[in-house]
Structure 1
Amino acid sequence: MAHQERQKSWFARNWGWAVPVGGCLTIIILFFVFLGSVIFGVSELMTNADPYKDALAKVKQDDYVIEILGEPIETNGIMQGSLSYENNVGDANISVPIKGPKGEARVYVVGAKTNDQWEYSEMYVIISETDEQIDLLGYEQKIDDDEDFE
Protein backbone atom coordinates (compact mmCIF):
# COMPACT_ATOMS: atom_id res chain seq x y z
CA MET A 1 0.00 0.00 0.00
CA ALA A 2 1.26 3.45 -0.93
CA HIS A 3 1.93 5.78 1.92
CA GLN A 4 0.81 9.39 1.32
CA GLU A 5 2.67 12.13 3.07
CA ARG A 6 0.46 14.88 4.33
CA GLN A 7 1.39 18.28 2.86
CA LYS A 8 1.95 21.20 5.25
CA SER A 9 -0.45 24.14 5.17
CA TRP A 10 0.45 27.37 3.37
CA PHE A 11 1.14 29.14 6.68
CA ALA A 12 3.34 26.34 7.94
CA ARG A 13 5.43 26.54 4.75
CA ASN A 14 5.63 30.37 4.62
CA TRP A 15 5.52 31.61 8.21
CA GLY A 16 9.14 32.79 8.10
CA TRP A 17 8.34 35.71 5.81
CA ALA A 18 4.55 36.03 6.29
CA VAL A 19 4.70 36.99 9.98
CA PRO A 20 7.25 39.86 9.64
CA VAL A 21 5.63 41.24 6.46
CA GLY A 22 2.14 41.01 7.97
CA GLY A 23 3.30 42.69 11.18
CA CYS A 24 5.03 45.53 9.31
CA LEU A 25 2.00 46.10 7.08
CA THR A 26 -0.27 46.19 10.13
CA ILE A 27 1.93 48.81 11.82
CA ILE A 28 2.05 50.92 8.63
CA ILE A 29 -1.73 50.76 8.18
CA LEU A 30 -2.33 51.69 11.84
CA PHE A 31 0.07 54.64 11.51
CA PHE A 32 -1.80 56.04 8.49
CA VAL A 33 -5.19 55.51 10.17
CA PHE A 34 -3.90 57.39 13.24
CA LEU A 35 -2.41 60.18 11.12
CA GLY A 36 -5.65 60.56 9.15
CA SER A 37 -7.75 60.72 12.30
CA VAL A 38 -5.46 63.40 13.79
CA ILE A 39 -5.65 65.51 10.61
CA PHE A 40 -9.42 65.07 10.40
CA GLY A 41 -9.85 65.91 14.09
CA VAL A 42 -7.79 69.11 13.88
CA SER A 43 -9.55 70.14 10.68
CA GLU A 44 -12.94 69.52 12.29
CA LEU A 45 -11.96 71.57 15.36
CA MET A 46 -10.82 74.49 13.20
CA THR A 47 -13.91 74.56 10.99
CA ASN A 48 -16.18 74.51 14.05
CA ALA A 49 -14.44 77.56 15.53
CA ASP A 50 -16.45 80.79 15.81
CA PRO A 51 -13.96 83.00 13.88
CA TYR A 52 -14.13 80.60 10.93
CA LYS A 53 -17.94 80.49 11.01
CA ASP A 54 -18.26 84.26 11.54
CA ALA A 55 -15.95 85.04 8.61
CA LEU A 56 -17.82 82.75 6.22
CA ALA A 57 -21.15 84.19 7.35
CA LYS A 58 -19.91 87.76 6.72
CA VAL A 59 -18.58 86.78 3.28
CA LYS A 60 -21.90 85.21 2.30
CA GLN A 61 -23.77 88.36 3.40
CA ASP A 62 -21.52 90.88 1.62
CA ASP A 63 -23.14 91.95 -1.66
CA TYR A 64 -19.88 93.24 -3.15
CA VAL A 65 -18.02 89.96 -2.51
CA ILE A 66 -20.97 88.03 -3.94
CA GLU A 67 -20.92 90.26 -7.03
CA ILE A 68 -17.20 89.54 -7.60
CA LEU A 69 -17.10 85.81 -6.74
CA GLY A 70 -20.67 84.79 -7.58
CA GLU A 71 -22.88 82.44 -5.64
CA PRO A 72 -22.57 80.00 -3.97
CA ILE A 73 -19.40 80.94 -2.09
CA GLU A 74 -17.69 78.00 -0.42
CA THR A 75 -14.35 77.13 1.14
CA ASN A 76 -11.57 76.09 -1.21
CA GLY A 77 -8.99 74.27 0.86
CA ILE A 78 -7.58 74.12 4.34
CA MET A 79 -7.65 77.00 6.79
CA GLN A 80 -4.24 78.36 7.78
CA GLY A 81 -3.08 80.32 10.80
CA SER A 82 -3.43 79.99 14.53
CA LEU A 83 -6.38 79.66 16.82
CA SER A 84 -6.05 79.36 20.59
CA TYR A 85 -8.68 79.22 23.30
CA GLU A 86 -8.35 78.61 27.02
CA ASN A 87 -10.42 79.67 30.06
CA ASN A 88 -12.83 81.89 28.07
CA VAL A 89 -9.92 83.81 26.51
CA GLY A 90 -8.76 83.25 22.95
CA ASP A 91 -6.89 84.59 19.95
CA ALA A 92 -7.43 84.01 16.26
CA ASN A 93 -5.24 84.86 13.29
CA ILE A 94 -6.50 82.75 10.40
CA SER A 95 -6.96 82.78 6.66
CA VAL A 96 -9.48 80.71 4.74
CA PRO A 97 -9.41 80.16 0.96
CA ILE A 98 -12.82 80.65 -0.65
CA LYS A 99 -14.22 80.38 -4.15
CA GLY A 100 -17.29 81.15 -6.16
CA PRO A 101 -18.27 80.48 -9.78
CA LYS A 102 -16.56 83.72 -10.91
CA GLY A 103 -13.29 83.55 -8.96
CA GLU A 104 -11.24 82.78 -5.88
CA ALA A 105 -10.22 84.76 -2.81
CA ARG A 106 -8.93 84.42 0.72
CA VAL A 107 -10.60 85.63 3.94
CA TYR A 108 -8.35 86.91 6.73
CA VAL A 109 -9.52 87.14 10.34
CA VAL A 110 -7.72 88.58 13.37
CA GLY A 111 -9.56 88.68 16.67
CA ALA A 112 -9.56 88.08 20.39
CA LYS A 113 -12.06 86.45 22.71
CA THR A 114 -12.76 87.69 26.21
CA ASN A 115 -15.72 86.76 28.41
CA ASP A 116 -17.10 84.38 25.75
CA GLN A 117 -17.29 87.21 23.17
CA TRP A 118 -15.19 87.37 19.99
CA GLU A 119 -14.08 90.85 18.91
CA TYR A 120 -12.45 91.15 15.50
CA SER A 121 -9.82 93.78 14.76
CA GLU A 122 -9.52 92.66 11.13
CA MET A 123 -11.77 90.70 8.81
CA TYR A 124 -11.22 91.15 5.10
CA VAL A 125 -11.22 89.36 1.76
CA ILE A 126 -8.46 89.61 -0.84
CA ILE A 127 -9.59 88.73 -4.36
CA SER A 128 -6.98 86.53 -6.06
CA GLU A 129 -7.23 87.95 -9.58
CA THR A 130 -7.10 91.67 -8.69
CA ASP A 131 -5.56 91.81 -5.18
CA GLU A 132 -8.52 93.96 -4.17
CA GLN A 133 -9.03 94.04 -0.41
CA ILE A 134 -12.60 94.17 0.85
CA ASP A 135 -13.01 94.95 4.54
CA LEU A 136 -15.92 92.95 5.96
CA LEU A 137 -16.01 95.12 9.09
CA GLY A 138 -16.81 98.33 7.25
CA TYR A 139 -14.80 99.75 4.34
CA GLU A 140 -13.07 98.66 1.11
CA GLN A 141 -9.72 99.56 -0.34
CA LYS A 142 -7.68 98.55 -3.34
CA ILE A 143 -4.15 97.25 -2.81
CA ASP A 144 -1.85 98.26 -5.63
CA ASP A 145 1.32 96.24 -6.22
CA ASP A 146 3.11 99.36 -7.50
CA GLU A 147 2.18 101.41 -4.45
CA ASP A 148 5.01 102.26 -2.05
CA PHE A 149 4.25 101.35 1.55
CA GLU A 150 6.28 103.53 3.93
Structure 2
Amino acid sequence: MSAFPPPMPAAAKAGWWSRNWKWCVPVLAVVVLASFLAFIAGLMTLIFGAMKSSEPYRHAMARAQADAAVVAALGTPIKPGWFVQGSLNSSGPSGEAELAIPLDGGKTDGTLFVVAEKRAGEWHYETLAVNVDDGERIVLEADNDGPASP
Protein backbone atom coordinates (compact mmCIF):
# COMPACT_ATOMS: atom_id res chain seq x y z
CA MET A 1 0.00 0.00 0.00
CA SER A 2 1.20 3.44 -0.93
CA ALA A 3 1.49 6.33 1.49
CA PHE A 4 0.47 8.84 -1.10
CA PRO A 5 -3.19 9.45 -1.94
CA PRO A 6 -4.24 9.15 -5.56
CA PRO A 7 -3.72 12.31 -7.65
CA MET A 8 -6.57 14.83 -7.69
CA PRO A 9 -8.35 15.21 -11.00
CA ALA A 10 -7.41 18.41 -12.86
CA ALA A 11 -9.74 21.32 -12.19
CA ALA A 12 -12.03 22.10 -15.08
CA LYS A 13 -10.78 25.07 -17.10
CA ALA A 14 -13.07 28.08 -16.83
CA GLY A 15 -15.11 28.85 -19.97
CA TRP A 16 -14.67 31.88 -22.22
CA TRP A 17 -17.57 33.78 -20.63
CA SER A 18 -16.24 33.20 -17.12
CA ARG A 19 -12.88 34.62 -18.11
CA ASN A 20 -14.07 37.58 -20.19
CA TRP A 21 -17.42 38.82 -18.88
CA LYS A 22 -15.88 41.82 -17.11
CA TRP A 23 -14.93 43.53 -20.38
CA CYS A 24 -17.59 41.94 -22.60
CA VAL A 25 -20.62 43.35 -20.75
CA PRO A 26 -19.53 47.03 -21.01
CA VAL A 27 -18.55 46.57 -24.67
CA LEU A 28 -21.94 45.04 -25.47
CA ALA A 29 -23.69 47.88 -23.62
CA VAL A 30 -21.76 50.49 -25.62
CA VAL A 31 -22.50 48.69 -28.91
CA VAL A 32 -26.23 48.50 -28.12
CA LEU A 33 -26.32 52.18 -27.09
CA ALA A 34 -24.38 53.29 -30.19
CA SER A 35 -26.70 51.26 -32.43
CA PHE A 36 -29.76 52.84 -30.82
CA LEU A 37 -28.35 56.36 -31.19
CA ALA A 38 -27.40 55.70 -34.82
CA PHE A 39 -30.95 54.47 -35.52
CA ILE A 40 -32.47 57.59 -33.94
CA ALA A 41 -30.07 59.88 -35.84
CA GLY A 42 -30.88 58.14 -39.12
CA LEU A 43 -34.60 58.41 -38.48
CA MET A 44 -34.35 62.12 -37.63
CA THR A 45 -32.23 62.77 -40.73
CA LEU A 46 -34.81 61.01 -42.88
CA ILE A 47 -37.72 62.96 -41.40
CA PHE A 48 -36.02 66.37 -41.56
CA GLY A 49 -34.75 65.62 -45.06
CA ALA A 50 -38.29 64.92 -46.21
CA MET A 51 -39.55 68.16 -44.67
CA LYS A 52 -36.71 70.22 -46.15
CA SER A 53 -37.27 68.83 -49.63
CA SER A 54 -40.99 69.65 -49.62
CA GLU A 55 -42.46 72.40 -51.77
CA PRO A 56 -43.85 74.47 -48.84
CA TYR A 57 -40.42 74.49 -47.14
CA ARG A 58 -38.51 75.46 -50.30
CA HIS A 59 -41.07 78.11 -51.29
CA ALA A 60 -41.09 79.66 -47.82
CA MET A 61 -37.27 79.72 -47.58
CA ALA A 62 -36.95 81.32 -51.02
CA ARG A 63 -39.50 83.99 -50.09
CA ALA A 64 -37.85 84.73 -46.73
CA GLN A 65 -34.35 84.97 -48.20
CA ALA A 66 -35.56 87.30 -50.98
CA ASP A 67 -37.71 89.59 -48.83
CA ALA A 68 -36.06 92.97 -48.13
CA ALA A 69 -37.75 93.41 -44.73
CA VAL A 70 -36.58 89.98 -43.54
CA VAL A 71 -33.04 90.61 -44.77
CA ALA A 72 -33.00 93.99 -43.01
CA ALA A 73 -34.31 92.50 -39.75
CA LEU A 74 -32.21 89.32 -39.62
CA GLY A 75 -29.12 90.34 -41.58
CA THR A 76 -27.31 88.30 -44.18
CA PRO A 77 -26.83 85.49 -44.78
CA ILE A 78 -30.15 83.95 -43.79
CA LYS A 79 -29.77 80.22 -43.24
CA PRO A 80 -32.33 77.68 -42.10
CA GLY A 81 -31.82 76.06 -38.74
CA TRP A 82 -31.59 72.31 -38.40
CA PHE A 83 -34.60 71.46 -36.23
CA VAL A 84 -37.75 72.06 -38.29
CA GLN A 85 -40.94 71.63 -36.28
CA GLY A 86 -44.44 70.88 -37.48
CA SER A 87 -46.20 68.47 -39.76
CA LEU A 88 -46.38 67.76 -43.46
CA ASN A 89 -48.99 65.52 -45.05
CA SER A 90 -49.27 65.18 -48.80
CA SER A 91 -51.12 62.53 -50.74
CA GLY A 92 -51.48 63.05 -54.46
CA PRO A 93 -53.34 66.27 -55.26
CA SER A 94 -54.14 67.16 -51.65
CA GLY A 95 -52.18 67.86 -48.52
CA GLU A 96 -51.42 70.21 -45.69
CA ALA A 97 -48.33 71.68 -44.10
CA GLU A 98 -47.75 73.46 -40.80
CA LEU A 99 -44.06 74.23 -40.32
CA ALA A 100 -41.97 76.35 -37.97
CA ILE A 101 -38.53 76.83 -39.54
CA PRO A 102 -35.78 78.38 -37.42
CA LEU A 103 -33.80 81.06 -39.25
CA ASP A 104 -30.24 82.11 -38.46
CA GLY A 105 -29.40 85.59 -39.69
CA GLY A 106 -26.23 87.67 -39.54
CA LYS A 107 -27.70 90.04 -36.90
CA THR A 108 -30.37 88.03 -35.13
CA ASP A 109 -32.50 84.92 -35.42
CA GLY A 110 -36.14 84.30 -36.16
CA THR A 111 -38.74 81.70 -37.00
CA LEU A 112 -40.47 81.26 -40.34
CA PHE A 113 -44.05 80.03 -39.98
CA VAL A 114 -45.78 78.26 -42.86
CA VAL A 115 -49.39 77.11 -42.97
CA ALA A 116 -50.38 75.76 -46.37
CA GLU A 117 -52.95 73.51 -47.98
CA LYS A 118 -52.58 71.59 -51.21
CA ARG A 119 -55.74 71.55 -53.33
CA ALA A 120 -55.94 70.17 -56.86
CA GLY A 121 -52.17 69.72 -56.90
CA GLU A 122 -51.34 73.35 -55.99
CA TRP A 123 -50.17 74.72 -52.65
CA HIS A 124 -52.16 77.62 -51.18
CA TYR A 125 -50.48 79.51 -48.34
CA GLU A 126 -52.65 80.71 -45.48
CA THR A 127 -49.73 81.97 -43.39
CA LEU A 128 -46.20 82.80 -44.46
CA ALA A 129 -44.57 85.02 -41.86
CA VAL A 130 -41.31 85.54 -39.99
CA ASN A 131 -41.23 86.23 -36.27
CA VAL A 132 -37.97 87.97 -35.42
CA ASP A 133 -36.54 87.23 -31.98
CA ASP A 134 -36.98 90.89 -30.96
CA GLY A 135 -40.79 90.51 -31.31
CA GLU A 136 -41.29 91.92 -34.80
CA ARG A 137 -43.54 89.98 -37.20
CA ILE A 138 -43.02 90.23 -40.96
CA VAL A 139 -45.84 88.87 -43.13
CA LEU A 140 -44.47 87.56 -46.42
CA GLU A 141 -47.58 86.38 -48.17
CA ALA A 142 -51.26 85.84 -47.60
CA ASP A 143 -52.53 83.54 -50.34
CA ASN A 144 -56.00 82.24 -49.69
CA ASP A 145 -57.39 82.26 -53.22
CA GLY A 146 -54.77 81.59 -55.88
CA PRO A 147 -51.95 79.15 -56.31
CA ALA A 148 -48.57 79.92 -54.85
CA SER A 149 -45.97 81.45 -57.08
CA PRO A 150 -42.63 79.67 -56.94
Normalised by the size of structure 2, how large is the TM-score? 0.75
User: 1:44-98 CA distances to partner (integer Å, 9 max, x unpaired)?
Assistant: 1111111111111001111111112121111134111111112331101111111
CA contact (8 A) 1:77 1:98 kept: no
Task: Identify which of 113, 132, 139 aligns with 1:135.
Answer: 139
Task: Identify which of 111, 114, 121 aligns with 1:116.
Answer: 121
Q: 1:91 matched to which residue of 2? A: 96
RMSD between aligned residues: 2.1
Matches within 5 A, 1:36-55: 36-55=41-60
TM-aligned CA distance change 1:25 to 1:88, over 3 Å: same
Q: Does 1:104 align with 2:105?
A: no
Q: What is the total number of aligned residue pairs between the two structures?
A: 128
Identity score, percent: 25
CA contact (8 A) 2:130 2:140 kept: yes
Computing the radius of gyration over CA atoms, which structure comes out larger, 1 or 2? 2
* Structure 1: unaligned runs, 5 residues or longer: 1-7, 139-150
Distance 1:21 1:105 in 2: 44
Ranges of 4+ aligned residues in structure 1 off by more than 6 Å? none
TM-aligned CA distance change 1:116 to 1:15, over 3 Å: same
Q: 2:61 matched to which residue of 1? A: 56
Normalised by the size of structure 1, how large is the TM-score? 0.75
